[in-house]
Amino acid sequence: MRILAAIAFWLLALPAAAQTIPVEAFGRLPAVADVALSPDGRRVAIASSNVAGEGSVIIVDLENAAQRQTYGVGGDMKLRGIGWADNERVTYVVSQAFHANSVLPDGFRWRGGSPGRVEYMRNGVINLNTGRAVILSTNPENAWADYGSQLIAPISSDPGYGRMIGRAANESAHIVLFRVALDSGRVAQDAPNGFNADTVDYLVDHRGDAIARFDSNRVSNRWRVFTYENEQPRLLFEGVSEYGQPVSLPGELPDGRLVALDTNEAGFYTLYAIDRADGEARVLFERPNAEVDGAILDPWSRQVVGATWTQTESQQHYFEPALQQVHESLPTLIPDSVAGIVSWSQDRRRFLIYAERGLDGGAYYIYDVGGQVRMLAARYPELARVNSGQRQSITYRARDGHSIPAYLTLPANVDPQNLPVVVLVHGGPHARDTMDFDWWATFLASRGYAVLQPNFRGSSGYGQAYEDAGRRQWGRLMQTDVEDGAAALVRAGIGDANRMCIVGGSYGGYAALAGATLTPTRYRCAVSVAGVSDLNQMLDDITRRFRSGASVIDWWTDSIGDRVEDRESIRAVSPINLVDQVQAPILLIHGTDDTVVPIDHSRRMDRALRAAGKNVRFVELRGDDHWLSDAPTRIQMLREIETFLAQNLAPAAP
């Protein structure tokens, strides 16, 4: 089978292994950010970006690669995802950040009372027969109500229509269900009986019918799940959670039972099958001492057909033997890779596969059952044939004897002894790093640094007790776990204790600043990207932004501390108050359109450091967001870090 000619331009001009890999190869947005296979399996829709970061939707005919259509998303919109409503309609998701007080050309104006900037997600549909693209809205005359809406398609019994879950067009703005015409965008409320001001979501089957409704009270944090029979709701089960978050129901099984993702008695996420008659839960899938990440859904029936989890690498298991057989064949079909199924055609004869080989950035493949695998496109084409380094899973001991999992990326062709080290701290903080390709870590390794990514206590994916151990431990246990990882590399002879820099984004940016202030002699330098500098200010901002008693306030309180009772202890670990202790140079980088951590955190930190006579450089990324979604500013960020590290750490020579 041949490589598809229509996208071969991504694969032809790859650099030789001996060449220095340019910054653009890592900082560019993925050439292929998302791929979806059409229901009949004939075509693929590709969410693509060029080197400049301009997004477009590309449709490729798999039987005749010369037949290719391209649609630009236009303006400042960022292309976030792609799918199919049917064989002739492609769906996509775009977002745009803007100031809460501004009015966009389409009349959108935020009415939530939020200060600062807002990230606005929207759903679109392209009709491939007419070439017309339509942005969908739950209420075209009051676009604010469309904030956070979700498109559900395909709908098997309603050709040309989809379902949207979004806010009602009234002041209460509770969540309802809409029927939407995919070609015109016309909508009509289609909410089932019983919805109310506490309704936060629905579970919809492939026929477009609501099979479950989720209610949550933001004050009491009591949630309820209702199932529907003959369009009438019936309470299935209820409970109270820390943040009022209902139990997650990703879908239903072919036999009609609902599937829930919830913790087991040991505190690890597990998939349960829920009987809709009596609410009885039975274990559907679990992993010993590991967490199930979620359920795999059939792209056309939206029924649950498998489960995913992460140990060292991402794993899949399918409940249906035919799907599991394809999954088990992947190591033979794509040797020396970590591969997983992305989606399949309705007849399950053609599959879309994603695989990574080392640090090649990953690629998508087409597999026809009984045939061969065809490479579709590389995500980072400039990295596909070069050796950027090697990545491995490790553990180390914290000072209290606890075992901490981590990932270590080493430079290529370098003796792994006494290397300069970058401690790269993930965001969240209640998230995690994985073995999957990481463009930051790979870039840093390509420049001669050993890169340590610790999943400190507070990280998710290792059970509820492990995550809870990091609650209210900003600057304390979570920080010492990171420090102990750096010390472990030195003891192992891999790292040079005198050449270490701490780097991170979001919470990782806070950790970098905490490293420079709480342990000022530990690191030779620190880089904070979109980092929190003032924890009390962050809590104050969250409280102003959301209503009193909202679940998001509870989450931040449990993570950082109480803004009243713990104010002084929080102040003691806020880098903005500790600038006099700084000894190492600091690089601050922040996007002006950040809607998660306001850029004022870096601006104030910069002023405080300068006033204290410290060595600091501050770089504003114009127009970029919290997730570094623009290619030019991503590249700018990497160049700044490359220069800064070279000035403060001598990289290893091959």
pLDDT tens digits, residue range 83-103? 999 999 999 998 776 665 555
Which tens digits make up the pLDDT trace of 596-614?
Answer: 999 999 999 999 999 999 9
Q: Are 272 and 260 in contact (CB under 8 A)?
A: yes
Element (H, E) at 236: strand 232-240
**Taking Cα atoms as reference points, which of 296, 252, 288 lies closest to residue 270?**
288
State yes or no: pLDDT of 283 exceeds 90: yes
pLDDT greater than 80 at residue 77: no
Q: Are 134 and 183 in contact (CB under 8 A)?
A: yes
The one-letter amino acid code at 551 reads S
Distances (CA, A) of 412 to 21, 335, 505: 12, 21, 25
| 620 compared with 14, residue with greater pLDDT | 620
User: Is the predicted pLDDT of residue 1 greater than 50, yes or no?
Assistant: no
**509 within 8 A of 548, measured Cβ to Cβ:** no
Tell me the average pLDDT of the chain.
88
For 379-436, write each residue's pLDDT tens digit. 999 998 888 889 999 999 999 999 999 999 999 988 999 999 999 999 999 999 999 9
CA 444 to chain centre: 21
Q: How confident is the model at residue 8 (pLDDT cuts 50, 70, 90)?
A: very low
pLDDT above 60: residue 496: yes
| Closest residue by Cα to residue 55 from 635, 634, 633, 631 | 631
Q: Count the alpha carbons within 13 Å of 558 in the hemisphere toward its beta carbon.
A: 15
Q: End-to-end alpha-carbon separation of the chain, Å?
A: 38
Q: What percent of the chain has pLDDT over 70?
A: 91
Reduced to 3 states (helix: H, G, I; strand: E, B; else coil), residue 313 is coil
Lowest-confidence pick of 128-132, 136-140, 336-340, 437-441:
136-140
pLDDT of residue 75: 64
**For residue 106, is pLDDT > 60?**
no
Q: What is the pLDDT of residue 97?
A: 67
What are the pLDDT digits (tens) for 514-533? 999 999 999 999 999 999 99
The reply to whether omega before 154 is within 30° of 0 (cis) is yes
pLDDT class for 14, splitting at 50, 70, 90?
A: very low
pLDDT tens sequence across 558-572 = 999 998 999 999 999
> Is residue 553 a contact partner of residue 543, using CB atoms and an 8 Å limit?
yes
Separation of alpha carbons 52 and 374, rounded Å: 27
d(CA 56, CA 379): 14
Mean pLDDT computed over 274-303? 93
Query: Which of the four pLDDT bands, split at 50, 70 and 90, describes residue 107?
Result: low
- The span from the CA of 272 to the CA of 268, in Å, is 12
The count of C-alpha atoms lying within 13 angstroms of the C-alpha of 536, restricted to the half-sphere facing its C-beta, is 15
Binned at pLDDT 50, 70 and 90, residue 9 comes out as very low
| Mean of pLDDT values over 123-146 | 83
Instruction: Tell which residue, 583, 484, 598, 584, has the closest CA to residue 534.
Output: 598
Cross-strand pairs, 226: 213, 235
Whole-angstrom distance, CA of residue 504 vs CA of residue 427: 7
Structure confidence at residue 300 (pLDDT): 95
pLDDT at 2 over 50: no
Contact 561, 499 (CB under 8 A): no
- CB-CB contact of 382 with 15 (8 Å): yes
The residue among 23 and 10 whose pLDDT is bigger is 23
Give strand pairing partners of 521. Answer: none
> Which pLDDT tens digit goes with each residue over 163-190?
999 887 655 567 889 999 999 989 888 8
Q: How far is CA 542 from CA 45, 563, 569, 598, in A?
A: 38, 10, 19, 11
The pLDDT assigned to 312 comes to 85
> Which 3 state secondary structure label does DSSP give 482?
helix
Predicted confidence at residue 116, as pLDDT, reads: 58
Return the half-sphere exposure (C-beta side, CA atoms, 13 A cut-off) of residue 387. Answer: 10
- pLDDT band of 113, cuts 50, 70, 90: very low
The answer, yes or no, to whether residue 450 has pLDDT greater than 90, is: yes
Closest CA to 130 of 168, 93, 182, 52: 182
Q: Are 273 and 282 in contact (CB under 8 A)?
A: yes
Of 78 and 201, which is predicted with more confidence? 201
pLDDT for res 121: 80
pLDDT tens readout for residues 228-268 = 988 889 999 888 887 777 789 999 999 999 999 999 999 99
Q: Are strands 495-505 and 525-529 parallel, antiparallel or unpaired?
A: parallel
490 vs 140, more confident: 490
Q: Check residue 64 and report its DSSP letter.
A: -
What is the pLDDT at residue 99?
62
Phi-psi region at 386: left, alpha or beta (left = phi > 0; alpha = psi -120 to 50): beta
Identity of the residue numbered 14 = L
Please give the Cα distance from 537 to 600 (Å, whole number). Answer: 10
Local structure of residue 502 (DSSP, 8 states) = E
